[in-house]
Amino acid sequence: MAASRSDALVIFGVTGDLAHKMIFPALYAMVKRGTLKVPVIGVALPKWSPERLHKRVTDSIKRSGGIDNRRALHHLLSLLKYVSGDYKDPNTFTAIKSALGGARRPAYYLAIPPSLFETVINGLGAANLAKHARVIVEKPFGRDLASAKELNQAARAVFPEDSIFRIDHFLGKEAIMNILYFRFANSFLEPIWNRNYVASVQITMSEDFGVKGRGAFYESAGCLRDVVANHLFQVVALLAMEPPSDRDFGAVHNEKASVFRAMRPIKPDDLVRGQYAGYRKEPGVAKNSDVETFCALRLFIDSWRWAGVPWYLRSGKFLPDTATEILVELKAPPQRLFADSAPATGRTNYVRFRLSPGAAIALAARVKIPGKEFVGEQRELFLLEDQAGEEAPYERLLGDAMVGDGALFTREDAVEAAWAVVDPVLKTHHRVRPYKRGSWGPKQADTIIASDGGWHNPKP
């Protein structure tokens, strides 16, 4: 039986930055595609007039790419309602019930600080607003294993698991979705996608900017929590998972959760934490802060397929470029027939996934240079380059949540299993190492991957 489509969207935190930067442009795109036709109720503390909210939405869309369809904009504005109130006040939820009118299957999107998730969920439950509804929770899902369990318990006390949509916009990117498709739509990959042929896997997500005035937030999160335990672990799961029994999103979630459960808990010596020069001078940052703006780690997945294969994850701010790439390096041929073959003179064959900027999938193989000598060079065969017309992540994810498609969201057991991997080093770790802005992080990060040929640095 197909899931029912949500007949209203309620956005908590509608006056915040996330709504302005991401959600309003997504709603505008959904209206243009004809996929959003239900009331949109914004909820926040400020006492805004409808006109002020309309102005905020219009400004957001202008900044995100411009208004290219006035009719769609006017239709979006006509769908909007606004409720002002404190999330701790039961009267706020009474006002939401009134604004919903005849809607019986609303979707509640919590675009609010994580500290308020439980308050709002409890408020919805107490006001009897959760029946037949869905709740969309913005990451992070907890700060550690204990808080993740607490948040999941609070959500499950009010909503069934299949009505809880834990949103990570990274999973809505076309390039991320294509990893799953590429792996299981092609037969040539499966025979070599294991410990017998893969030497190592490395994933880099780099940013060429700093915390951008969000020092107070970063002090409470740090790179390991903010990026690695969420975005990069999700990529690892897609690369490492076993074939699901079918395309049902429950089967996909089962296999992803199995990957997290097979991950070996990280030890302090597997992790290098860095902090860019000048971070402690950022507003909201402690003068003696030990919070990492960079981290590199070595990870092992103790499964039949991946036993012994090292996975290297790296992310940081104020690195040379803003890019996300995966390099799956294959083992060298068992016998070196040609003197110039890898690894003596460089990398072995590999599969490279470029996730951003732009998307690409490439295979690297050696080919002979014309002439009498058996000398060659490694070249890349591009299988995919960036495609136009794709949905933006928030547009896709909001649309999926409203129709009950949970394929691109994360499940309770997977969230907790992922936190269990990083939990040992959230408090017990080596101090941060300083690194220069524009570098690839502290030199110690090179040590953990030295035996596998060093880091592959993405190029713009």
Extract the tokens encoding 321.
Answer: 């470029």
Q: How far is Cα 290 from Cα 280, in angstroms, rounded to an integer?
A: 9
Residue 109: φ, ψ to 5° = -105, 120
> What is the reported pLDDT for 62?
95
> What is the reported pLDDT for 87?
96
> What is the reported pLDDT for 387?
60
pTM for the whole thing?
0.90
> What residues are labeled active site?
231
> What is the reported pLDDT for 213?
83
Burial of 228 (0-12, 13-18, 19+ CB in 10 A): buried
Q: Is 453 left (phi over 0), alpha (psi -120 to 50) or beta?
A: left
Residue type, 251: A
Q: What angle do CA 153, 158, 159 make, to 5 degrees?
A: 90
Regions of the chain where pLDDT drops below 70? 1-3, 341-346, 384-390, 460
Nearest in space to 362 (alpha carbons), one of 387, 385, 382, 386: 382
